[in-house]
A and B are shown apart, each in its own frame.
Chain A
Amino acid sequence: MTCQEARDRAPLYLSAEMSAAERERFAAHLAACPACRQEIEAQAQVDSRIAAALGGELPDTTRIERRVRHEISSAASRRRWVAAGAVAACLLLAAGIYGLVRQAPAPAGFVDAAHDHRVEVMEGQPRRWRTDTAEIGEVSVQGGLSYAQAAALAAPGYTLERAKICGVHGERMLHLVFSDGTRRYSLYVGPHPGAKAPVRSVRSGSEQVAGFDTGRLRAMVVTAGSAAECAQFVQVAAARL
């Protein structure tokens, strides 16, 4: 070990961080080099003076500890309040969602209407449809509408193609089919005295269903298209019924 190496490594010797082997080599160098030995002894002497002068100094920290404990307990208290508030907010939110769900359940008729549309319109199962104006007028009256009123329920770009009376969830309803030439959607209309209900919309399998109650009638739109298209179709119906 050279003198320079010894002096570079001296801090590790003084802090007892050398491996046994390195410590042995270091001690061997000090034994053979009076200058390095004197230097290390002088450094150790400085350390002793510093440690003796300041090492026994243990200032009073009562005031600091009191302030820190106060801050910690205040923060814990704040956290407890925030946690309680979060729980309360979650409960309110859950209650609100539950209330919304309870207030606006998807009527069972929606699912039946979706199934009916799929079977009768999309799959084209044989049914006795009315297709000429007079016949459509006749079945429309059974649904509480004139032919003109039924035809006016068509969304822009669509025309009334056919109609028939069908049973949906135990209720007789007028089933109108509107077409733009390639696509079709169904509108079910039937008497439904009771409270008014705003438009509600659900997805039922591959169909999107939206319906509302006017207080006198119930109407449901069913389409295999998007929710946005369904919303557009039902808005037209809601505006005119």
Chain B
Amino acid sequence: MRRSSDEFERVAMPHARSLLRFALRLTASRFAAEDLVQETLLLAWRGFRQLEDSANVRAWLFRILIHAHYGQHRRQRSRVPTMELAAADRMAGASGSERLEVTQALERLGSDHRTVLLLAVVEGFTCREIGEILAVPVGTVTSRLSRAREAMREALGEKAVR
């Protein structure tokens, strides 16, 4: 099927905001997140013509973003990670204290746990969709999610039930 830029505008571009929300938490940098989302959308545009009609466009976009992020991460491994987003969160003040507590707890998680938790809880993907996005089996997703929730509770100062 020959797809147009109008169709891309209609089915892909509306996900830019949730992609950026996720990218901000993944990269902890506004600039890196914007670059990552831009790269994701351009990569998506290049592959858009081959996308099947039945494809889950949102999951497909997140999958591209994750691949692009880890590609960039490998290229920039030697760089010191920028944490200006955490600083911005801290400057959000009293009204953002709950958000600050949650984001700081998320930052303490390992990258794999943070990723599955954000995809499941903030972005609302099912375990099966997360498996497709990360190219891992559903069992891997559920075990990562269980450990991520447990780690998050500890990071938030709640004791997990043993």
Chain A residues near B (Cβ < 8 Å): 7-12, 14-17, 35, 38-39, 42-43, 45-47, 49-55, 57-59, 61, 63-65, 67-69, 71-73, 75-76
**Chain A residue nearest in CB terms to B143:** A8
**CB of B153 within 8 Å of the partner chain:** yes
Given A64-B16, A72-B8, does the pair A58, B21 have CB atoms closer than 8 Å?
yes
Chain B contact residues: helix, strand, loop or mixed: helix
- CB-based contact A64/B122 at 8 Å: no
Within 1-52 of B, Cβ neighbours of A (below 8 Å) are at: 5, 8-9, 13, 16-21, 24-25, 34, 37-38, 41-42, 45
Assuming the contacts A11-B142, A38-B161, A72-B5, asked whether A51 and B122 have C-beta atoms less than 8 A apart, the reply is: yes
Q: A61-B16, A69-B9, A75-B45 are in contact. List 18 more A-B contacts (CB 8 A).
A: A7-B146, A8-B146, A17-B127, A39-B160, A42-B153, A47-B149, A50-B121, A53-B99, A53-B103, A54-B102, A58-B17, A58-B18, A59-B17, A59-B24, A61-B17, A64-B41, A67-B38, A68-B38
Rounded to whole angstroms, the CA-CA distance of A52 and B5 in the bound complex is 35
Would B127 and A46 count as touching, CB distance under 8 A? Answer: no
Q: Is B72 an interface residue (CB 8 A)?
A: no
**With A and B bound together, what is the CA distance between A57 and B20 in angstroms?**
10
User: Are the CB atoms of B153 and A11 closer together than 8 Å?
Assistant: no
Q: Are B102 and A17 in contact (CB under 8 A)?
A: no
Q: Taking the nearest CB of chain B, how far is it from the CB of A75, in angstroms?
A: 8
Whole-angstrom distance between the alpha carbons of A89 and B8 in the complex? Answer: 31
Q: Any chain A CB within 8 A of the CB of B128? A: yes
**A46 and B153 contacting across the interface, CB-CB below 8 Å:** yes
Chain B neighbourhood of A43, CB < 8 A: 149, 153
> Is the beta-carbon distance between B146 and A57 smaller than 8 angstroms?
no
Q: Is the CB of B45 within 8 A of A55?
A: no
Some 18 contacts from A to B, beta carbons below 8 A apart, are A7-B146, A10-B142, A14-B120, A15-B127, A35-B161, A42-B153, A47-B121, A50-B117, A53-B98, A53-B99, A53-B101, A54-B99, A54-B122, A59-B21, A61-B17, A63-B34, A65-B16, A72-B42
Q: How many residues of B contact A (CB 8 A)?
A: 44
Whether A46 pairs with B146 at a CB distance below 8 angstroms is no
B112-135 to A contact mask, C-beta < 8 Å, 1/0: 000001101110001110000000
Which B residues lie at the A interface, using CB under 8 A? Answer: 5, 8-9, 13, 16-21, 24-25, 34, 37-38, 41-42, 45, 98-99, 101-103, 106, 117-118, 120-122, 126-128, 141-143, 145-146, 149, 152-153, 156, 158, 160-161
| Contact A46-B152, Cβ < 8 Å, known A68-B38, A71-B42 | yes
Partner of B161, one of A15, A42, A54, A64: A42
Once A8-B143, A17-B128, A42-B160 are accepted as A-B contacts, the answer to whether A51 and B121 lie under 8 Å apart by CB is: yes
- Residues in A neighbouring B158, C-beta threshold 8 A: 42, 45-46
| B8 nearest CB neighbor, chain A only | A72
Q: Could you say which of A11, A46, A73 contacts B156, with CB atoms under 8 Å apart?
A: A46
